[in-house]
Every structure is written in C-alpha cells, then in structure tokens.
Structure 1
Amino acid sequence: MKSAPFIAVEGPIGAGKTTLATMLSQELNLPLVKEIVEENPFLASFYQDIDEWSFQLEMFFLCNRFKQLEDTGAHYVQQHSPVISDYHIYKNMIFAERTLKGSKRDKYRQIYHLLTDDLPKPNLVLYIEAELDTLMYRINKRGRSFEQDMDPAYMEQLIADYKTGMAYLADSPNPPIIIKVDAEALDFVEHPEHFRQIVNQVKEYIT
C-alpha cells in the first residue's frame, strides 16, 4: 500500500462495525473515527415512518460524517498518518438510494457529491457480511430502543444493497482494497483466533 492506510469497516446494521473497528484500533494502535448514530434526532421517527423522515435522517448523517471526514483528512490523511473508521462515506448513498424517492433523492445526490467528492476516501475496507438472522439477533441484543421495531424486510433489502454498494466501490476509480469478513464463519468477539485471522489479513496490506 503506497500511502498510509485509511481503513474503514463496513456492513449492514448490526454487523459489528464499531466493535471490529474498535478492536482493530486497539490492536494496531490506530486512532479511531466513530460515526454518530444515537445522537441523530430523527432515528426513532424514521423507523416508525421511513418515507416521512428519511430525508431529514440522511441529511443529518451526511453533514455529520462530512465534518468528521473533513477533520480526518486534515489531521491524519494529509499528514500521512494511518487511521481507522467504523464507516465509509459511501454508506450514505447505500441508504439514501433505498429510502429516498423522486426529487428528494435527486437533491440528496447533488448534495452528497458536492460535499464528498473531494473528501479523503479509505484505501482499505473491511466489509462484514452477515445473514438476516445474525443481524436481527445482534440488533436485539444491543437493545437500542429505536431499533426494536426494525422491519426484517428492510434489513433483507439492506443486505442486498450493501452487496451492490461494495461491488460499486470495487469498480470505482482508485478502488479500495476490500477484505470480506464472513460473520457467519468468524465470530471476532467470542473467538480470539477469529479476530487474529482478520488482524493478519489487515497487516498484509499495512506493513
């Protein structure tokens, strides 16, 4: 890897992105950028009425992530210092393309590109793949109140959207290296040897 690693951990809701990113940050002694989730004031309303609240929700996430990654670029990427994040900015489009419609989607696309086209992008992505039952179990286990009415059909579609989104990143200009983490085979929380496998894969690209 020619430049300092900018690592992102991605996957659908409940995949374990923040958990894995935190574990890797500690193991590799890298600064961690964590997305703002629970602070979003539109989350509870969104899960009750997706069509009504999706634009407000997605704009809140986009603006906050833009600010975080703008700072990340100034503090780490431009200084050629490695850093890890528990999201890739493209996740905004993965969600928005599913939840927004018509003129709101068109407006969002324009704003997204205006804000993000010149942001630093990860050059290494760990993509956690998990099946619906695993995601629903983890969502219920972590007990966030606003996620308790999560629609399995929405989650099923999100799994498919993530696969499409990762394929898009792989074919984009200057694509990142994408490491797939099979959450059905690798329990990186309960089994240290599974986590060690992931660490060893990451080290192949950053050392």
Structure 2
Amino acid sequence: MKTPFITIEGPIGVGKTSLAKAIAKRYQFHCLQEIVEENPFLGKFYNNIDEWSFQTEMFFLCNRFKQLEDIHNNFLSHGKPVVADYNIFKNLIFANKTLNGNKHNKYLKIYNILTEDMPEPSFVIYLHASLDTLLKRISKRARTIENNIDPQYLNDISNDYEIFIDRWEKEHPLIPVIKIDGDSLDFVKNDEDLMLIFQQLQEHLTKGEKKQ
C-alpha cells in the first residue's frame, strides 16, 4: 500500500480539524491543516458573497495546492503518513456554489491544471451533521470571520456536500469513504465516540496493509 494519506471532509463547523488532530496524535501522522483565518478575503466574502467569491476561492485553491505539494515532497514521498483536515475537492463544492459564468469557467480551468498530479487520499473520512449542530459548533469556536455566516448558505453547502460525496464515491470506487454522523457521535467530548471512529479507521489501515 502507498503511504497512508487520510483526508477529512464535511461542511463548515463539523469538526474536521479536531478529528485530524486526534488521528495525528494517536497514529503519529503528520497533521495538515488548511489555512482559513489567514484568507484576507473571507470576512468580506461572508458579508458579500457575490463580490468576493472569486478572490476567496482562488486564495484557498492556491494555498491548498502549495500545502499538498509540500506534504508530497516532504512527507508522502518519504514514506511518512499524513492526515489532512480537508480534501482539495472541497474547492469544487464551494466554487460551484459561489461562482457563475466566466469566473466559474476560469476557476475550473485553473483547478484542473493545479490538481492533475496531486496526491490522492488512501481514503476519505466524511463528517456530516444537521444545521443546528453546525451552527452550535461554529458559535462555540467563536471565529470572528464566521460571525456573519448565513444559515441558509451553510445549509446549502451541507446539501451540496451530500450530493458531491455521492457522486465522488461513484467516480472513485477505489478510494473508500468513511461516513461519520456528527449528530450522533461527539468525538470531541466523548472518548467512546472517538474510539468508534478509530476502530473504523484501523480497519481501513489494516486492509491497506494486507494489499501490500
């Protein structure tokens, strides 16, 4: 099996970074965290999506491309496992939601060029939760730039994730997706819930080892 590369995905506030850190600690994997608050356009984006969507999405794309290039060169290619709190395919989910017409076409061209030789994950952990749960967790972490998130926008993104993940599974049958219900499992507060996720994770890691 190739060096384990786990990506965690799901809508805003679902707990991707918390789970990535927990996995990294347990398995001694390198933890790759996406750049969020450093995006200079994000606060403006939440205030005016139409005006600032292209700048916001391009910043995320370029930074994620650089991060993935670095972990490939410095970790994966040297046999060092990585867990990331995002998969770069999330760029398509958000771009499809926020960009239109010529800007969307330009974005897709750049996305396809940058991601054509990016490392693929061994498997994806997909976290999903209800809108109420997402709003509570976003409020709890109290990021200033998220103060103006429209609940309808968040709900739409959650629905878009569901549609995208279903399609992605069909298009990538060799990359398993572990689906975790964030409403029924609170792996941040409950160690037993976290252990259940570790058990599923271990099963996939063991399967990968047997394929060697």
Normalising to structure 2: TM-score of the pair?
0.94
Gaps of 5+ in 2: 207-212
Residue 76 of structure 2 corresponds to 77
**Contact between 1:169 and 1:175, CA under 8 Å: does it hold in 2?**
no
Bigger mean CA deviation after superposition, 74-83 or 30-39:
74-83
Shift of 1:96: 0.4
Go from structure 1 to structure 2 and tell me whether the alpha carbon gap of 1:93 and 1:175 turns closer, same or farther (over 3 Å shift).
Answer: farther
Q: Measure the CA separation in 2 of the matches of 1:62 and 1:145.
A: 22
Q: Measure the CA separation in 2 of the matches of 1:175 and 1:150.
A: 35
Show CA shifts across 1:103-145 (max 9, x none).
0000000000000111002121110010000001111111111
The aligned runs of 1:38-187 (5 Å cut-off) are 38-173=37-172, 175-187=174-186
Shift of 1:174: 5.6
Name the SS of the counterpart of 1:40 in structure 2.
coil
**Contact between 2:5 and 2:82, CA under 8 Å: does it hold in 1?**
yes
**Contact between 1:169 and 1:176, CA under 8 Å: does it hold in 2?**
no
Residue 12 of structure 1 corresponds to 11
State the AA in 2 paired with 1:185.
S
**Contact between 2:14 and 2:134, CA under 8 Å: does it hold in 1?**
yes
State the AA in 1 paired with 2:182.
A
Residue 209 of structure 2 corresponds to none
Bigger mean CA deviation after superposition, 112-121 or 76-85:
76-85
Divergent runs of 4+, >4 A? none
State the AA in 1 paired with 2:12.
I
The total of aligned residue pairs comes to 206
Go from structure 1 to structure 2 and tell me whether the alpha carbon gap of 1:159 and 1:167 turns closer, same or farther (over 3 Å shift).
Answer: same
Normalising to structure 1: TM-score of the pair?
0.96
State the AA in 2 paired with 1:196.
M
State the AA in 2 paired with 1:21.
A
Q: Measure the CA separation in 1 of the matches of 2:153 and 2:172.
A: 30
Percent of paired sites with the same residue: 48
Show CA shifts across 1:143-165 (max 9, x none).
11111111111011001111112
RMSD: 1.1
Bigger mean CA deviation after superposition, 90-99 or 79-88:
79-88
Q: Measure the CA separation in 1 of the matches of 2:83 and 2:40.
A: 26
State the AA in 1 paired with 2:158.
I
Show CA shifts across 1:43-85 (max 9, x none).
1100000000000000000000000001111122223331100
Gaps of 5+ in 1: none
Q: Measure the CA separation in 2 of the matches of 1:154 and 1:147.
A: 12
**Contact between 1:46 and 1:53, CA under 8 Å: does it hold in 2?**
yes
